[in-house]
Amino acid sequence: MLLFSAFAWLVLAAAPASAASAAEAEFSGFDANGDGKVTMSEVMGHIRPAIQKAFDAMDRNHDGVLSSDDFQDVSEGMQKFQQWLDGLLEPFSSSGDRDGTSQEF
């Protein structure tokens, strides 16, 4: 029982320190030069990889710019999905005209 109490005390005592450590670790991730301050440049440097990854995912033809061409295949994919969904829902058409569309739901 004494061991359990000691363990519980250690967990409770460590909890705030863990949160502080997590915040400190997050801060130090932004503080690239370790001077204890975070500049806009350091913030941008920290988030740039994630922004670049999102941009690259959107730049589907990999020409370095975003244009309507990048979204063309997404648009075509959505149209095919809509046709598939309309076909799937046709037996449940509420208008009874056998011309059911997903818009009726």
Task: Check binding of 97 to Ca ion (CB under 5 A).
Answer: no
| Closer Cβ to Ca ion, 42 or 86, answer by number | 42
Distance CA 94, CA 87 (A): 14
Amino acid present at 102: S
Applying CB under 5 A, among 2, 35, 50, 57 the residue interacting with Ca ion is 35
Applying CB under 5 A, among 24, 26, 56, 63 the residue interacting with Ca ion is 63
Task: Count the neighbouring beta carbons within 10 Å of the beta carbon of residue 87.
Answer: 12
In the region spanning residues 40 to 59, those forming contacts with Ca ion, defined by CB under 5 A, are 59
What does the binding site for Ca ion look like in residue numbers (CB under 5 A)? 31, 33, 35, 37, 59, 61, 63, 70
